[in-house]
Structure formats: C-alpha cells, structure tokens
C-alpha cells in the first residue's frame, strides 16, 4: 500500500483503503479503480491523499506496469482537460505525450 496525493493519481491506481469524507461518508470503497478525473473530484471534496495498492516508491505515469501509448495519452488528456482549447497548451500537451511515450519505449 502506498499513499498518493490526489493530484498524482494515475490511470490504473486501485484504492487500498476506504476513502471517507470528513463527516464519515464513504466516497470510495476499497478495490475501486481510480482515474485522474476521480482524483480531481476527491480534491474538490477536500481529500488530499488516498492509499492505493502497490509498493511504496512506485507510481507516476510510468507506474508499476507498462502502459500503451494510447493509455498514456488518455491519462495525460485527463490531466490537461479544460486547457486544450489554447494553441500553446495543445503544443505542450503534444510535447509531454511524445516525451512520456518515448520514455516508456513506445512509438
């Protein structure tokens, strides 16, 4: 189990312990797959960290498993969502995608 900031959640992370609101309501059950979009919702609810399955020190876009170029681009799209109408942000998005895919040994 590892503690991950909700702004660092990656595609494929799985909740290792229930996520509850400050009032005690269950927001996510153990075993729920999390997406970066869900991470944004958790931050909106005031949740800064969650516990996810996996070893401490692992994570990020490369994660503990190999991702395809499509998965990487999809994850990054979630991170950049709402900013891609800007020509400059689209260029940054494209450059980040290309860099991450090259890092992973992709196309």
Domains of the chain by residue range: 2-52, 69-103
pLDDT value of position 55 = 67
Q: In this structure, is the dihedral angle defined by the CA atoms of residues 42, 54, 70 and 99, taken in order, positive or negative?
A: positive
Residue 6 is classified by DSSP as G
Task: Encode 58-99 in three state secondary structure.
Answer: CCCCCCCCCCCHHHHHHHHHHHHCCCCCCHHHHHHHHHHHHH
pLDDT value of position 56 = 56
Instruction: List the chain pLDDT tens, one digit each, 107 residues.
Output: 888 888 888 877 899 999 988 788 898 999 998 888 888 888 888 888 888 988 654 444 434 456 677 777 877 877 787 888 889 988 998 888 888 888 777 55
pLDDT value of position 106 = 59
Among the listed residues 52, 61, 64, the one whose alpha carbon sits nearest the alpha carbon of residue 2: 52
Domain 2-52 matching CATH 3.40.109.40: the answer reads no
Between CA 67 and CA 23 the distance in angstroms is 37
């Amino acid at each position: 189990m590892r503690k991950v900031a909700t702004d660092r959640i990656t595609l494929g992370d799985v909740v290792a312990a229930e996520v509850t609101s400050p009032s005690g309501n269950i927001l996510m059950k153990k075993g729920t797959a999390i997406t970066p979009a869900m991470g944004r919702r958790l931050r909106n609810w005031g949740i800064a960290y969650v516990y996810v399955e996996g070893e401490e020190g692992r994570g990020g876009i490369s994660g503990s498993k190999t991702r395809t170029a499509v998965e990487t681009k999809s994850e990054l799209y979630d991170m950049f969502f709402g900013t891609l109408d800007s020509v400059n942000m689209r260029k940054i998005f494209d450059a980040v995608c290309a860099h991450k895919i090259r890092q992973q040994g992709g196309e």
